[in-house]
Structures are given as C-alpha cells and as structure tokens.
Amino acid sequence: MEVVIKETYEEVSKAAAALMRHVLNAKPNAVLGLATGSTPLGLYAEMARMHREEGLDFTHVTTFNLDEYVGLPASHPQSYRTFMEKNLFQHINIQHQNTHVPSGTTGNYRAFCEWYEQRIKEVGGIDLQVLGIGSDGHIGFNEPTSSLNSRTRLKTLAEPTINDNARFFDRREDVPIYAITMGVGTILEAKQVLLVANGANKAECVAGMIEGPITAMNTASALQLHPRCTVFIDRPAASKLKMLDYYLWVQAKKPHAPY
Ligand code: GLP
C-alpha cells in the first residue's frame, strides 16, 4: 500500500485528482469505479475543474458506482445516483449510458447484482477504483464481518453507518437500512485503487486499514492484499499511524510521482 500524506483536505483532493488525470491520460477509455460520501467531493470538484479548464475528456470513460441505498428511486434527493449527477456527472462530458449506479428499486436484487458483476467484466474490468472509508472501516457498504471474497450483493447497514449517514436525511428513521454494494472481492479485482480519507474521526480506521491485521472487522484492511493501492490522507487522518515517519520518508524519496 502506498501512503501519501498531505497537510490539508484540499491537497489530498488535488493529489488524488493528479493520479486520476494520469490514468485518464494513459487510457482515455478507462473504466472508473466511483464512491460517494463527503470525502471524494474535493476530488470530483477537481475532476470537473480539469475538464473545464484543461479539457480533460470523459467521452469514452465508463463508470461503476460502488453502492446504492435499497428503496430509494434514482430520482430521490439522497440516492447515490442523484449524488453522482449533482457532484460529478453534470460537470463533465461523460455519456449518461456509460454511467452505472446499482439500482435501489429492482424487483430482483440477486439477478441485478449478477448483472452488475457481469457488466463490469464485459467492459474489461475496473481500471481505477475510487474509495472513501467509513468510520467502522467499511469500503462501499461492506460492513464489518463482510466476507473478504464477497461480490455485489444486498447488505444490511450497521448502526454506526446509519448514524453517520443520518446527517443527510431529515430524520434518522428515513435512512435506508439496506444497500446494494460491490463486494470486497469485486473491489480487489480493480487494476488500481485510490482511497481518500480525511479528519481525525478517520484516524482509527485508517490505522487499522494500513497497519492492522487483515480482518473482516475492518474491510478496508483487505486492500493490503492489493498490488496497486494508493491511500491519500491528511495529517489528522494519519495521526494514529505508527509508521508515519517512514511514509513521509518514502514520499520524500519519490519526487517524480504525479501527486
Ligand atoms: C458511505 C459510503 C462509503 C463512504 C462512507 C464514508 O457509507 N457507502 O462509500 O466511504 O460513506 O463517507 P464520508 O466520506 O462522508 O465519511
């Protein structure tokens, strides 16, 4: 795992965007895995800026989102489809038919999940998977004790996740309790992974992910098995890392990295 530590959230977002640009320049028809949550917002704003000001082209890009709440139609203000439209897709020249977000309203979840996995394979797999991390260490909605080999499926959300996400809804009771999420196994098959995290409330799960044992109690720790995973974090999120000095040393010895 490559650990990139920046002073501020803004720098984290810019560094992650530099890696994104690097991938898109090398492969203009790249397949991107995308995440929701507050953390990738800075990265998405940078992607929109690079499109506007530098002509970064998304015409041939395909995207797959990690997850969606079950029970929310795509048009719901809190659906992850709405989130993606509002925070990224509307601001870049991506073709709507190339964007995939799991359906929260399908009549047959099992068949839908199989189709989603199949569709990812048909387009040649995910080139770059963007991830955030939940305070309990989840990636996508792979809550603690999810199988580290899991595929896209229906998951019941853990209480801390419902509490964390209640801030986006009028009432806590409105937060859906089920979601469709890519599995940890699905995520590990991406050719490259980029994870962003910021803030002191992520320090513990970030330390578990990078330095803890690989455990289903922190599903992000499975990324230790991935051969090309770069984690971009700010100082507060890095504050519980035992090997902090080592990561900073490695970073200083890579002056030509794109970020
Ligand atoms: C949700 C999403 C995750 C995301 C997490 C953290 O649970 N399913 O993909 O990483 O929230 O969100 P935030 O970035 O707002 O802390």
CA distance 203 to 242: 11
**Span from the CA of 255 to the centroid of ligand 1 (angstroms):** 31
pLDDT tens over the chain, length 259 residues: 999 999 999 999 999 999 999 999 999 999 999 999 999 999 999 999 999 999 999 999 999 999 999 999 999 999 999 999 999 999 999 999 999 999 999 999 999 999 999 999 999 999 999 999 999 999 999 999 999 999 999 999 999 999 989 999 999 999 999 999 999 999 999 999 999 999 999 999 999 999 999 999 999 999 999 999 999 999 999 999 999 999 999 999 988 888 8
Q: Among 49, 116, 53, which residue's Cα sits nearest to residue 87?
A: 49
Identify whether 67 is a catalytic site residue: yes
The pair of structure tokens assigned to 95 is 């073709």
Residue identifier of the C-alpha nearest atom 6 of ligand 1: 134
pTM: 0.97
**Span from the CA of 256 to the centroid of ligand 1 (angstroms):** 31
CA distance 237 to 244: 11
Which ligand 1 atom is the nearest neighbour of the CA of 66? 9
Which ligand 1 atom is the nearest neighbour of the CA of 201? 16
Choice among 117, 127, 136, 234 that is catalytic: 136
Choice among 117, 143, 164, 234 that is catalytic: 143
DSSP the chain: -EEEEESSHHHHHHHHHHHHHHHHHH-TT-EEEE--SSTTHHHHHHHHHHHHHH----TT-EEEESEEETT--TTSTTSHHHHHHHHTGGGS---GGGEE---SS-S-HHHHHHHHHHHHHHTT--SEEEE---TTS-BTTB-TT--TT--SEEEEPPHHHHHHHGGGSSSGGGS-SEEEE--HHHHHTSSEEEEEE-SGGGHHHHHHHHHS--BTTBGGGGGGG-SSEEEEEEHHHHTT-TTHHHHHHHHHT-TTS--
Which ligand 1 atom is the nearest neighbour of the CA of 67? 8
Angle between helix axes 41-54 and 9-26 (nearest 10 degrees) is 50
Q: Which residue has the tokens 């963007």?
A: 130
Indicate the class that CATH gives domain 2-256: alpha beta
